Structure 1
Amino acid sequence: MLENVQTNTKMLSRSHSSTLAENDEIDLVELFTALWRGKWLIIAVAVLFIVVGGFYAFRFAVPKYTSTTSIALQLNVETFVDIESVVSGVSKEASSMNTELHVIRSRGLIEKLVNKLNLVDDPEFNEALRPEARFSLGRLLGFISALTSGNEDQQPSNSELTSTVTAAREAISAVLVRNTYIFDISATTTDPEKSKLIANTLADLYIADQVETKFQATEQAVTWLSEKVTELEIEIRKQENDIKVLRSNTELMGEESLQALNRQLIDVRDRLNETRADLALSETRLGKIDEFRQSDNLEALVNLLGDPTLRRIYSQLGTADSSSNKLFDDRLSLLAAREQTAVARLEQQIVALQDAVERQQRSIEVQSADFVQLQELERQIEATKILYETFLTRLKETTVQRGLQQADSRVLSEALLGQYVEPKKPLILMLSAILGVMIGSGIVLLKQFVHSGFRTAEELEQYAELPILGQIPKMEFSKRDQLIDYLNTKSTSAASEAVRNLRTSVLLSNIDTPPKVIMSTSSVPGEGKTTQAISLAHNLAGMDKKVLLIEGDIRRRTFNEYFDGSGKRGGILSAMTGNAQLEDLIIRDSRMNVDILMGEKSSVNAADIFASEKFKHFIDDVRSRYDIVIIDTPPVLVVPDARLIGQFVDAIIFTVAWDRTTKAQIAESIRQFATANLSLTGLVLSQIDPKGMRRYGYGGRYGAYAAYGEGYYDT
């Protein structure tokens, strides 16, 4: 038994978890259906926003007018001289064009406009002149500031001028017409004439500013060029004087004299080299003479010296004449002395030539340095003269151009009377309607999202996964004792027909073994389970069934409000204990053919009573005596009585209040029955409000509440 209960509980939990998971998915059809059901709320909110937007557009918003002046950029401005080489104009590049747009809306130019048109005295631009509201945030802040500062001095005029310039700047726009050199200057104000005046005045100020800027640039250029020309004149005179001083302090006559000195230096160096070669040869001969004399190699001496006299004397050395030797020695000594003399002379010549080379080199170095310096000075003065001539020419050109400047722009078309531009009433109304529809839809979807009740049998059946046995609308009576009269007098009403449908569904819930003992319960009080039990008993009695209606809710005992049972003593407890016969405890209401067994107060806990064997025997006894037994029980979430009584019945009817019973209450109730190993026969959606069904958009789909059902029911 316990295992079955646990199994049923787990299956129920999985079932509802899967149902909740499916409900988490966005159903577009349901979404649009919800929006359609709330269409009147959406329309109402949209109409409200349209009214508010219309009030703003037609009564509150200040009309604005825009006027536009077109300015064309002059591509070919004739000039007397090439002034652009000194003062540049407007470039045709996109960056320069965009720069001009910012110049038009610059604070400096707008301030000139404000001063010229005296916009400081215009309340539209100077908010200090506007009548202040009796209560405003600005006034409150000013009051607080006055308290903290201790005085209430007015704002300085400079602050008013700044705020006026800011306001005027916001009212002005400048755009570049695509693929052209045309600017459109627009002014938007509350007065069409004022818009026209501001646009035209700003265009004139912009053109005048271009001329003034060029004039100032020209004056600056003239001043700067004059200073540069004077500086260059002084520099030229100084460089000329430096050249004169250099020429006077050097022996350099010119480039030719420097070349002659170079040639002389080359000649001296050549002579020095030749003399050194001769000295080396003489020293070699002198050494060989000494060498041969010491070795007595007279023949080698004769050949070396090549002197004819010495050769003749040498040829006579072999004769008997002894004077030949003396003559040979004397002649050899003479020739050796000559060689020594030649060596000494050559050495003196080398020294003299070396001194000459050094003097010549020093002279060339000094004159070369002077020549290089002279050339540098000449180049510098030449460059300075060229720069001087260039600046002097530009100075003359700029001086001539001064006073002949022309603007780079011209007015292409003056502004006309301002055209109405705002507020855009159709757009405001359209946006208000869209905003209203969006907010209305949001409200509808929010209500749908937070709503946890059930408005249709489909929703209830899909969530609980149990069959719907009936849908019972509200019954129009104010007191509970009027229920039987309503059922008798309104036998063809929608509610009576709904009870018949419920009766049919209950009897057919088990075709093989139709239920005899039927229990009516709900999750919480006030959901119509007692009304439903009485109505079902009344309807079954009309089928010639012997019906017993038992008040199983012995804690509250509300049957006294429906029937008059004051003449009877005792009730269900007396019948169970046998203190009285059942026939003596039964009461009858003259308005319906049903036996009624009232509840009875007891000191014993009700749950213990319904769990006893006596109650089981009591149910078996009434089952044998009656065709149908209907037991009205307490709510399942309040007390456990319903789960105990349900152990002995054939069918359990669970009542759900329309648009009120929450999903959590239903899920918990089903879980409570599952823990007792009980399953519900079906659900009944009760207390349905027909007007609410139609208001939510369900009336056209559900029989008794649809237009096509009006001919079948009495209202």
Structure 2
Amino acid sequence: MTDLLSLLWQRKLTLITAALIAGLLGYAVTKAMPVRFAGEGLLLVESRDQAIPELNQTVSANTPSAQRIRTEADILRSRALAADVVRELGLADKPEKEGLGAAISALVAPVTTWVRDSIASLLQPQLDENGQPLGAAPLDKVGLAVEEMQKNLSIGTAENSNVVVVRYVADTAEEAARVVNTLMDRYISQEVNAKRDTTLQANEWLTERLTALREDMEAADRKIEAYRERTGLLETSQGTITTLQLGEQQTRVAVARQELARAQAALDSALRSGNRGSAATEALTSPTVQALRTREAEIGARSASLAQQLGRNHPDRLAAEAELRDVQRQIGSEISKVVASLRREVDAARDRLAEAQSSLTSTSRTARTGAQAEVGLLALTREADAKRQIYQTFLTRAEQTRMASAQFPLARVISPAVAPYRPSGAPASVVAAFAAFVGLFLMAGLLILRRLTHGAFNSVQDLVSMTGIQNVGSLPALGRGRRNKMPALVLDQGQSGIAETLRALRLNMQTVAGGGPANTVLVTSSAIGDGKSTVASSLARLSAADGMRVLLIETDMRRPQLSAIFGAPWPGRSIEAVLNGETRFEDAIQVDERSGLHLLLSDRSSNNPQALIESRQFAELINRARREYRLVILDSPPVMRVADAVVLSQHSDAVLFAVGWERTSRTVVMEAMRRLPRSMRARMATVMTRVRPGRLDPLGYYEGYSKSASPDLKRLPAPGA
């Protein structure tokens, strides 16, 4: 966010200019537009009457649905309704516009005429005598006026409201209000007429249908009467005669069975009483038996008392026992009579049940005989009931449609349009302010979008915050055709800003290495063209010119670039020859005549450079260079091209990573740094190259101070010299 705000602040003049231009353009366009007035009216869409399914009308609830409201809005903006309004108000005969619009039309009229004549000359075979294309419809003023009206008409609806907003924009306030009110009146009239026509059509159709249904119902009733006369089925309010007789016989059988069961239960109780003795006999309801039981109890009590007082053969005791036996014989005789009476009742009940069952059987046979006739009668009755129900339903619908013809229309005007006092649209000052803000935000968005889509580093702060790696300096771009000028410039202008920046870079590399002797520095980059070879050669040449013993090794054996600066290596004295054992290290060293820099260059003779870098001979070469030189600089291939830089980082004390300004994408740079060993991140530093001079970081670039030339130092000989 800070970087984006910094970008916007740096481009503040661009943003202000864009805002001013957009504001002035908005103000000018607003002033150039003709004055327009907007008239507005409100329509309330009522709920529909009860629908008539027979006429396939839509059923709706009490509250109109959103689909219904949108449908009414579509009717309001229809071409047919607009044509009625145009004809009623005579909008087709309205004079042409005057004012600024007419002035603009007068200015562009010559151009329009010339274009039209040119097109007509090209399409002459396809035009008729009136200048119109063949087959095209003739110009219709009414049609043009309808299109103009529809263009200026807007119908608004809300999701949770039954109100439809009708708005029309016209040249005059009176015309705007008149068009809106006429449109709403024509819409309501059209709804009333359509509803009246629909009602009349429904009444005619329902009347015809009612007549046909009534005839069908009467024919069904006559068919039922004829069937009854033919089958002899007499029907009362409770059903047919046969059905009633069958019910009565079933009731007789049920009553006879209950009587038989009751008589059989009484007989069984009497038989059980006679077997259980006197105690159970009291359950009998016969008065004679009850009296004899009472007498038996009295005699039994007296006999028991005499048995205690008198002897076994005493006359009184014997007389009492004889009387007791006589009473018991009488009780047995009475019980026998009761049982015989109960047997007669059971037989009589059984006879009555048999008679009732016989009558029921006879009646059932009669009922089965008329069952088929009753089934036919039931079918005819159901058919007649169905026709009668349909007739009643249609009769109700007919009454509803007659009532609907006298109801109010489906919509009403709740707010007619009035002539507006002020023109529509925002004032020119508001439009200008809004356009200025829009221009400002659009320009800011374009600047930010350019920054985000470009995806390259364009500031040291952005590079440090994104990578987390220390930056040790920024070097400017020297322009096209001056690619190799920096290594010569650091010698010609030893006190220049570039030279001072490289010296500071060399000192900062000691800090990157943790305070130790960083005499082996790997210079690499993520991609080709970031200036790593220029940085390596310039740093090495300046350090050698400052009196340090420096060795520059060209480890990029695939595409060596240092030969373009220092010249091709001597035949057979390249780094490949040293690693292959074809020559000695000291014999392959070349000396830069201007700076005394020692060079070990590549002749691109190896087919497998990575194998040479991973060999034991290369490690021995680096160890010897560490001992004999104060600073060893390795110019390696880009990290994203080959893995040579990853191997070379294992032989280095520090890594100097060159990042091209607004050149290489951030993703590529981050991926290249990720590929290097994690242990090297603490000993890595970045240098931003090819920075536009006006965008150099003041904290990482030195402007230079003295204009004197560098002293002519004694040049160091080669190790074998």
Scaled to the shorter chain, the TM-score interval is 0.3 to 0.5
Q: TM-score, normalised by structure 1?
A: 0.48
Bigger Rg, structure 1 or 2: 1
Higher relative contact order (CA 8 A, sep 6+): 1
Q: TM-score, normalised by structure 2?
A: 0.47
